[in-house]
């Protein structure tokens, strides 16, 4: 269990280091997740090495949303003052994400369908 946690924390630390070194405007946790994903895909890290800790973290994910949820309460005055721009941005971005996701799925799904041997005439 300690080894599993060390691998996950090591990827997070590597993400922190890369952000510090390069100054890329990305959250270090995202870079750390990319490092972990690439390590898993390339076979550097085996799934069994991180699976148990990952399952514990995912099963308790709601707990990790409590601090940001409480922090939002500090900004109620800002949210109240900018309510409609926030709602508009949220709705527009949600629609755009849905549309682009559907378009990409259709684009790549069609190619996958055409490339299957049973679908060729």
Cα(11)–Cα(8) distance, integer angstroms: 5
- Predicted confidence at residue 33, as pLDDT, reads 95
As given in the structure block, the two tokens for residue 52 are: 């148990």
- Residue 121: pLDDT above 60? no
pLDDT in tens, 55-110: 999 999 999 999 988 988 999 999 999 999 999 999 999 999 999 999 999 988 77
Which phi-psi region, left, alpha or beta, contains residue 120 (left: φ > 0; alpha: ψ -120 to 50)?
beta
What average pLDDT does the chain have? 91
What is the pLDDT averaged over residues 6-11?
96
Classify 1 as helix, strand or coil: coil
Decide if 28 contacts 15 (C-beta within 8 A): yes
Q: Where are the alpha helices (DSSP H) in 23-72?
A: 28-42, 47-59, 61-64, 66-72
pTM more than 0.85: no
Domain ranges of the chain: 1-64, 70-121
């Amino acid at each position: 269990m300690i080894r599993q946690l060390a691998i996950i924390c090591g990827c997070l630390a590597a993400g922190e280091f890369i952000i510090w070194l390069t100054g890329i405007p990305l959250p270090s946790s995202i870079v750390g997740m990319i490092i972990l994903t690439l390590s898993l895909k390339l076979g550097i890290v085996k799934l069994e090495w991180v699976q148990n800790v990952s399952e514990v973290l995912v099963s308790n994910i709601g707990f990790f949303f409590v601090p940001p949820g409480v922090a939002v309460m500090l900004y109620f005055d800002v949210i109240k003052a900018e309510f409609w721009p926030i709602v508009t941005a949220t709705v527009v971005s949600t629609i755009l994400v849905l549309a682009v996701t559907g378009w990409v799925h259709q684009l790549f799904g069609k190619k996958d369908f055409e490339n299957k041997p049973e679908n060729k005439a």
